[in-house]
């Protein structure tokens, strides 16, 4: 019986010792944040949260390569069980130059028969004036938005 108690106590002490060697979530969080600060060109807004040894990453980057690089850096932090990468990849919005917007939209409006729609473009903002049928409005707005402007202002008179 004494041997059983001695073995039980020994195993219990070993468990306490081994569990106390693991870094805490706070220590891991600090290590992850330090690792992220070392990533060159890291976009702002990348957030990490460590819970029970698992690092969860959230935020937005422009490329899959950036997402993978961040994950690789965090996976290198010793003591983490795993990394959950919930970072979203959202490519940058490309806004066409004014002359491209104007020529693209005018050509599309002419091809669709929207001759009474007048287009003006300044600093990436397309302003639509003139007249159009109410039933054509959705198609007109679709054409204007497909040209990749910063904004489309609808000032059309609908008939």
For residue 152, the number of C-alpha atoms closer than 13 Å in the C-beta half-sphere is 22
State the pLDDT at residue 100: 94
- pLDDT: which is higher, 5 or 148: 148
Please report the beta strands in the chain, taking only residues with DSSP state E, as ranges in sequence order: 47-51, 54-58, 60-61, 82-85, 88-89, 117-122, 125-132, 151-154, 157-158
Residue 30 has pLDDT above 60, yes or no: yes
State the pLDDT at residue 45: 81
Residue pLDDT, tens place only, 69-109: 999 999 999 999 999 999 999 988 888 899 999 999 999 99
State the pLDDT at residue 92: 86
What is the overall mean pLDDT for the chain?
87
């Amino acid at each position: 019986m004494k041997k059983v108690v001695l073995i039980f106590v020994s195993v219990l002490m070993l468990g306490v010792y081994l569990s106390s060697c693991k870094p805490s979530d706070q220590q891991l969080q600090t290590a992850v944040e330090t690792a992220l600060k070392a990533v060159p060109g890291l976009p702002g807004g990348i957030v990490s949260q460590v819970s029970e040894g698992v690092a969860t990453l959230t935020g937005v980057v422009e490329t899959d390569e950036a997402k993978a690089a961040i994950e690789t850096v965090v996976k290198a932090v010793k003591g983490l069980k795993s990394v959950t990468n919930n970072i979203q990849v959202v490519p940058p919005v490309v806004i066409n130059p004014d002359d491209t917007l104007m020529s693209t939209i005018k050509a599309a409006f002419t091809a669709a028969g929207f001759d009474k729609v007048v287009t003006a473009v300044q600093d990436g903002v397309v302003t639509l004036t003139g007249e159009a049928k109410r039933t054509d409005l959705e198609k007109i707005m679709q054409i204007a938005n497909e040209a990749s402007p910063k904004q489309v202002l609808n000032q059309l008179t609908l008939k």
